[in-house]
Amino acid sequence: MDTENFITGDKLERYVELCQRKKEIEDELEVLKQSFNEYCDQAFGRNEKGEVALQAFKLQRQIRKIEKYDCDKTVKRLEELNQPHLIQKSPNEKKIKSALDLEILDEKDLADCKTTNYTKAIYVKQV
């Protein structure tokens, strides 16, 4: 086994230090972003893109607009408007879980329909 992969007290200590510095840096960046956005709101208008050049730097504000329909309200309205072809059906995971628990469905019936994703997380705290 490669000795670089061993966990040591020094590595854990360094990890905790870096996490603390990362948090401080992220907090400061958030404050700066907020002040830049406030400036851009006043200079260009709320939710408007803009650009500022100062010394050797250029600040650009881009605006991404994401619109989503409220699922329940939209389905209800489309039903009222007699537009069922605009409604997309999706599996109800709670009901599927209940049907599996009550043995109305068997796990193997839906085995090829299920996807599983794994996310890894590491937490180190100073004790």
Residue 113 lies in a domain: no
The pLDDT value recorded for residue 45 is 93
The SS3 call for residue 51 is strand
Q: Which amino acid is residue 1, in one-letter code?
A: M
Query: Looking at the structure, do residues 17 and 53 belong to the same domain, yes or no?
Result: yes
Instruction: Answer yes or no: do 82 and 32 share one domain.
Output: no
Dihedral Cα 3, 8, 10, 15, nearest 10 deg: 100
* pLDDT range class, residue 5, cuts 50, 70, 90: confident
Same-domain check for residues 53 and 80: no
Query: What are 6-63's pLDDT values in tens digits?
Result: 999 999 999 999 999 999 999 999 999 999 999 999 999 999 999 999 888 999 999 9
* Mean pLDDT, the chain, whole residue set: 89
Residue 120 lies in a domain: no
Is pLDDT at 122 greater than 70 in this prediction? no
Measure the CA–CA gap between 36 and 56, rounded to whole angstroms: 17
Structural domains counted in the chain? 2
Longest alpha-carbon distance in the chain: 69
Residue 117 has a pLDDT of 86
Q: How far is CA 64 from the centre of its chain?
A: 15
Tell me whether residue 24 is in a domain: yes
Number of Cβ within a 10 Å radius of residue 96: 16
Range of the domain at 26: 3-61
Q: How many CB atoms lie within 10 A of CB 52?
A: 14
